Amino acid sequence: MSKPLVFPALVQFLAQFVAATAGRNMTRMAYLAVAAGVGAMVMLTLNPTYEMVHYCVDAVLWACLAFFVFEWIVRLRHAILSGRGLVYLLSGRGLVDAASAIAVPVALLSGAEAKTAWLASVVWLVKVIPGVPGLRQLRRVLVLESGPLLSVLVIFLTVLFLGSVAEYLLEHDAQPETFGSVPAALWWAVVTLTTTGYGDAVPVTPLGRMIAALVMISGLGVFGLWTGILATAFAAETRRDNFLKTWESVSKVPFFATLGPSAIADVTHMLRTIDLPPRAMIIRKGQAGDCMYFIASGEVEVDLPGKKVRLGEGAFFGEMALLGNNLRSANITTTRLSKLLVLDLVDFRMLMARHPDLAETIDAEAKRRALENK
């Protein structure tokens, strides 16, 4: 009697699993399906190899398609139950999920050959985009720097058209087949300005070669400007993200709870964050110490003579080496996944000078621990 219930139970479990990931960027299973599906699609175009393993390739393609259809239906159902069905359908994620689910079936139903229809599975690669943080950062950079980037684009197009018109005037009599029209000269201008230089169109007149040299130099300058704008913007965006993450971690530490926003910003600039796995050695007894640590999340274990002490979220350690004795007095390891804020010796002294109340708190805690450890 229980056997008929196995399949519905399995379907319900899979639905709950996919629904649980509806708000995440992408599941590991989806990444695996994208890699397997696109790989099988490429195998589809290798005729000798495909003929030998076509059953396996077809099975992988249909399995990946079934997964993406199932995932789309479950996410759509989850969005409808949450009252956001239309929002999901019109969102970027919803459109990508829909395209991944229906692109191949639509191609097959339209009468395309099976091999040609399965080429539509290349849209599965787009599902990777929401799960790549760097691409979201790139989008923010492009939006923030759209003005400078468009200005350089205008320079690029100006040089492109001026160069192509000049080469047409100078070269169309000498090379009518290559520079017989402005559109034909545009091809030369594009490959020259982008420094590709295929060599299929080369000016032969002295003035034409001078113009070509200017176009090539302008191409280097234009792409140098684009690179500089994007690199600077990426660096600024990375610093902003790191600052926000560190600010969030600092605000969770009770030790800094009494500080105002300006003081927290000051502390945030000094601290750096590290994420450590369980059982990671942070401090080794007898080593010279040059920094102290604040626990933003997680837990550490202090191995003292005759006992072990655990410190949780909000606690700090390693200050003894900064207050006098620069040698570490105990081994300290993480007990679980932990996020620590690190304050180096130079920054520690600057912070203590700017915030005497923090200096007094750290000094009092250090004396209390010294008495306990005797």
| Mean of pLDDT values over 102-119 | 89
Kindly report, residue by residue over 219-265, the tens digit of the pLDDT. 888 989 998 998 898 888 888 877 777 777 777 666 666 667 777 77
Kindly report, residue by residue over 71-96, the tens digit of the pLDDT. 888 888 888 888 888 888 888 888 88
Kindly report, residue by residue over 273-304, the tens digit of the pLDDT. 888 998 899 988 888 878 888 888 889 998 88
In a shared domain, residues 224 and 330? no
pLDDT at 11: 52
**In the chain, alpha helices (H):** 6-20, 28-44, 47-81, 85-90, 92-109, 114-118, 133-144, 146-171, 182-193, 206-252, 261-270, 320-323, 345-354, 356-373
In a shared domain, residues 258 and 288? yes
In a shared domain, residues 70 and 94? yes
**Which of the two residues, 340 and 51, has the higher pLDDT score?**
340
Considering 207, 237, 267, which residue would you say is the last residue of a domain? 237
pLDDT at 238: 81
C-alpha to C-alpha distance for 215 and 198, rounded to whole angstroms: 15
Q: 197 Cβ partners below 8 Å, 6+ apart?
A: 191, 216
In a shared domain, residues 283 and 232? no
In a shared domain, residues 278 and 222? no
Does residue 324 belong to any structural domain of this protein?
A: yes
Q: Of all residues in the chain, what percent carry a pLDDT higher than 70?
A: 83
In a shared domain, residues 117 and 153? no
pLDDT at 25: 41
Does residue 243 belong to any structural domain of this protein?
A: no
* Domain range enclosing 155: 146-237
Does residue 136 belong to any structural domain of this protein?
A: no
**Taking a C-beta distance cutoff of 8 angstroms, is the pair 347, 263 a contact?**
no
DSSP 288-318: B--EEEEEEES-EEEEETTEEEEE-TT-EE-
pLDDT at 273: 83
Kindly report, residue by residue over 60-70, the tens digit of the pLDDT. 999 999 999 98
C-alpha to C-alpha distance for 112 and 118, rounded to whole angstroms: 9
**87-96, 152-161, 239-248, 358-367: which range is least confident on average?**
358-367
Considering 131, 163, 180, which residue would you say is the last residue of a domain? 131
In a shared domain, residues 258 and 366? yes
pLDDT at 150: 93
Kindly report, residue by residue over 118-136, the tens digit of the pLDDT. 988 888 888 887 767 667 7
Q: 336 Cβ partners below 8 Å, 6+ apart?
A: 278, 298, 299
In a shared domain, residues 94 and 31? yes
| Mean of pLDDT values over 312-336 | 79
* 210, two tokens: 């001078």
In a shared domain, residues 360 and 301? yes
- Specify the number of domains making up the chain: 3
Does residue 367 belong to any structural domain of this protein?
A: yes
Q: 337 Cβ partners below 8 Å, 6+ apart?
A: 275, 276, 277, 278, 298
C-alpha to C-alpha distance for 275 and 245, rounded to whole angstroms: 12
Total-model pTM: 0.59
Considering 205, 237, 269, which residue would you say is the last residue of a domain? 237
In a shared domain, residues 195 and 298? no
C-alpha to C-alpha distance for 236 and 242, rounded to whole angstroms: 10
In a shared domain, residues 169 and 269? no
pLDDT band at 161 (very low <50, low <70, confident <90, very high): very high
Kindly report, residue by residue over 184-193, the tens digit of the pLDDT. 888 888 888 8
For residue 42, is pLDDT > 60?
Answer: yes
**Which of the two residues, 183 and 10, has the higher pLDDT score?**
183
C-alpha to C-alpha distance for 371 and 247, rounded to whole angstroms: 33
Does residue 110 belong to any structural domain of this protein?
A: yes
For residue 154, is pLDDT > 90?
Answer: yes
C-alpha to C-alpha distance for 334 and 279, rounded to whole angstroms: 5
Give the three-state DSSP class for 23: coil
**Taking a C-beta distance cutoff of 8 angstroms, is the pair 295, 312 a contact?**
yes
Does residue 247 belong to any structural domain of this protein?
A: no
pLDDT at 157: 92
CATH of the domain at 365: 2.60.120.10
* 189, two tokens: 């201008």
Buried/exposed code over 268-280 (b: 16+ C-beta within 10 A; e: otherwise): bebbebeebeeeb
* Mean pLDDT computed over every residue of the chain: 81
pLDDT at 135: 73
Does residue 245 belong to any structural domain of this protein?
A: no
CATH of the domain at 215: 1.10.287.70
pLDDT band at 141 (very low <50, low <70, confident <90, very high): confident
For residue 30, is pLDDT > 60?
Answer: yes
Does residue 242 belong to any structural domain of this protein?
A: no
In a shared domain, residues 259 and 215? no
**Taking a C-beta distance cutoff of 8 angstroms, is the pair 51, 77 a contact?**
no
